[in-house]
């Protein structure tokens, strides 16, 4: 892909766009004015699931003007999508009439994904929110594929991706 994204990541990103559109359609139906109100609600969601404001999240990834979603890992995208889909469903179920009600629903929707993030982190022992961006993961994926191919061929691979001695011992 042109910017170094895998086809799988691009497909995932397209799905997030669809979920996002459904959410913004719901907000429009509830009378939320587009513009700053959409931006406020949008900001509530990742803050609730990631524990960071959008600015903090962008700083964590070393971004200036780039689109945050375009730099998220697959898992970050999935959690953001879960948060937005949950927010949409809560809004449809509760039919908020005031902006503050929509804001609280956005927080709660994000919180559902935040709970999932915390559980993933507890199970893996690793943070979900990473400073790496999707293109970094593509380079890492290439290293993993190369290592897996070498192991299938009967060669051991050290953690740096270099082939170890054919004795099968890792270096």
According to DSSP, the residues that pair with 163 across neighbouring strands are: 157
DSSP state letter for 70: G
Give the per-residue pLDDT at 17: 93
Q: What is the pTM of this model?
A: 0.75
Entry field: residues in the chain? 171
Quote the distance between the C-alpha of residue 75 and its chain's center.
5
91-150 tens-digit pLDDT: 999 999 999 999 999 999 999 999 999 999 999 999 999 888 766 655 555 555 555 666
- pLDDT tens per residue across span 51-104: 999 999 999 998 888 888 888 988 999 999 999 999 999 999 999 999 999 999
Q: Which of 154, 139, 141 is nearest to 163 (CA)?
A: 154
């Amino acid at each position: 892909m042109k910017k170094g994204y895998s086809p799988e990541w691009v497909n995932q990103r397209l799905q997030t766009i669809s979920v996002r559109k459904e959410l913004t359609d719901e907000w429009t139906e509830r009378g939320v004015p587009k513009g700053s109100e959409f931006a406020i609600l949008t900001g509530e969601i990742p803050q609730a699931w990631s524990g960071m404001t959008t600015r903090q999240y962008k700083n964590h990834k070393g971004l200036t003007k780039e689109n945050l979603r375009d730099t998220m890992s697959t898992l970050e995208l999935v959690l953001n999508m879960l948060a937005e889909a949950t927010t949409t469903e809560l809004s449809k179920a509760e039919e908020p009439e005031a902006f503050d009600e929509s804001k609280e629903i956005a927080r709660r929707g994000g919180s559902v994904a935040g709970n999932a993030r915390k559980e993933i982190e507890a199970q893996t022992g690793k943070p979900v929110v990473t400073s790496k961006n999707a293109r970094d993961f593509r380079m890492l994926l290439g290293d993993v594929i190369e290592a897996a191919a070498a192991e299938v061929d009967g060669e051991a691979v050290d953690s740096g991706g270099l082939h170890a001695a054919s004795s099968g011992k890792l270096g």
